[in-house]
Amino acid sequence: MQKTKKIRKFRGLSAHMLILPATAIIVFLYATLVFRSTRIDHVKKQLFENSEAYITATQTYDDFRRNVTKMTDQAGLFFAAEGDLQYAEAFCDRAEQFSVLASEAEDLSAQTGAPAPWEELVELEARAMKLFALGSGVELTGAKYQRIMSATLSDEEIGMTAAQQRETAAKLLHGEECYALRGRVMDSVDERHRETLAKTTERFEELSKMLNCYTSGQGVFTTALCAFLIFVLGFLYIMLLLPLMRATQRVQNGEEIDIRHGVLELKSFSEHYDRMIEKKTILEDDLRQSAHLDALTGLPNRLAEKQYISLIRRKKSNLPTAVFSFDVNNLKPTNDTQGHVVGDMLLQKAAQCILKCFGDEMGQNCFRIGGDEFVAILQDVTEAELRERVKEFERRQREADISVAVGYAYSDEIHPVDVAELFQRADRNMYQMKSEMKRRMATDSIAAADPTANDLPEERS
């Protein structure tokens, strides 16, 4: 039996060693991308809210400016229309809108407890309208005129004549103080608008920088993730998938895998698989050899003889051929009287004598075909050589103290040899000799020792 090779110890990169770090890196890169994507969405939302806040504030400031002008216009129309109440009502509505707009834009509200410029303007114009209404005899009753009626008049203004009250009211509405207040209100709104624009712009720039940072970083991490995935996939293709494809092809062809380039697990698998195939091949060879060899004598058996004859037939050999048939004498009495161990030794001695006298270089032409029956097939021999071999065989029998009946058939005709026919003839000759040996032994034991009694019967074709 052949010996299998020892399993080699491989060095290299294990798939296990690669997958865990690669998975950790991919998870880290992916988590970073998700986090940065979330931050980008959040910054974009803040940018939108910042822009929306600026637009809302600008609209509020614009409404505030328009409201100042329209409120003053309503007060002027009230004077021009000699106290028409619809203008008084419109004035009160505009004054109320100041409060709403101021609450929407907190920076327009009063600071440090002092009234805001727009509150002073409303108070001044309401006072002028109340004084004009008092001088014109117009009654302002009801909640809708509450803003005008809540204005405070001095005792001096109350004690004036109607004409003086109207004149004073006109001076209040069109005087320098009122124009100065309107200017202060506009300046205040413009200043707040500029401050809001500056804050919004600053915030926009800050958010834009953050967005650019996250966006550029997102590109870097995305590129890193894609590059790493390409590297991992390429590595797996070269070190895992490609060797597996080649190994599969080799397995289909019945060849050894022999993976030398690949991950450690594949190399180890290749080595174990090749070792298994080697063991299988050795086992098949042993089984094949056992199927063709006789376990006791070591000679080829009947199956090997049939294959040997088939090979001769396929070759259609024209060489001179001889077939010998052997039968070991006294096997059954030996088994019965001395035991099967001695009987087995008798068969082994006979097999050795046959092999030494008639075997070829490989010992593949001598066969044990039955219990005490042997066959030898010789090619490319002459009849003289056969006689010499027979004499050598008789000499070895005497040395080994055994008796073997032998008969042979020879053919030197130039045509394909019929080995089966030669075997039948050799078998007949062997049994003829065996019968003659028994007859001689029965009639005269001394005559059995006579050399002339060992002449072999022979038949020629």
Q: Where are the domains of the chain?
A: 17-206, 297-460
Give CA–CA dist 112/89, Å, rounded: 31
Residue corresponding to tokens 């050894």: 256
- Report how far residue 58's alpha carbon sits from residue 62's, in angstroms, rounded to the nearest whole number: 6
Q: Which two tokens stand for residue 194?
A: 């500029």
φ, ψ dihedrals at 251, nearest 5°: -65, -40
Contact call for residues 33 and 77 (beta carbons, < 8 A)? no
- Cβ-based neighbour number of residue 116 at 10 Å: 17
The DSSP secondary structure of 125-143, one letter per residue, reads HHHHHHHHHHHHT----SG
Give, to the nearest 10 degrees, the angle between helix 176-236 and helix 162-174: 30
Provide DSSP, 313-329: HHHT--S-EEEEEEEET
CA gap 333, 116 in Å, rounded = 144
* 3-class state of residue 80 by DSSP: helix
Q: Report the predicted TM-score, pTM, of the whole model to 2 decimal places.
A: 0.46
Could you tell me where the DSSP H helices lie in 137-263?
A: 146-149, 155-159, 162-174, 176-236, 242-252
CA–CA gap between residue 264 and residue 307 (Å, rounded): 46
Strand 458-460 and strand 321-328: the pairing is unpaired
- In 3D, which of 68, 1, 49, 63 has the Cα closest to residue 288? 1
- Report d(CA 441, CA 236) in Å as an integer: 84
SS3 state of residue 284: helix
Is the separation of the CB atoms in 369 and 302 below 8 Å?
yes
Instruction: Name the token pair of 72.
Output: 């003053």
Dist. CA 365–CA 381, nearest whole Å: 13
- Mention every residue, 6+ apart, whose C-beta is less than 8 A from residue 411: 320, 321, 322, 417, 422, 461
The yes/no answer on whether domain 297-460 falls in CATH 3.30.70.270 is yes
Edge-to-edge strand order for the sheet containing 458-460? 366-368, 373-379, 321-328, 404-411, 458-460
**Digits of tens for pLDDT over the chain (461 positions)?**
445 555 455 555 666 677 778 788 888 888 888 888 888 898 889 888 888 888 887 887 787 778 778 777 777 777 676 777 787 788 778 777 777 776 665 555 444 445 577 788 788 888 888 888 888 878 877 787 887 888 888 888 888 888 888 888 888 878 888 888 888 888 887 888 888 888 888 888 888 888 888 888 777 878 888 898 888 888 777 777 777 787 788 778 777 776 766 667 677 777 777 777 778 878 877 777 777 888 899 899 999 999 888 888 888 777 888 999 999 998 999 999 999 999 999 999 999 999 999 998 888 899 999 889 999 999 889 989 999 999 999 999 999 999 999 999 998 764 666 788 888 999 999 889 888 887 877 775 554 445 554 554 444 43
Backbone conformation region of residue 12, classed left if phi is above 0, alpha if psi is from -120 to 50, else beta: left
What is the C-alpha separation between 172 and 200, in angstroms, rounded?
Answer: 39
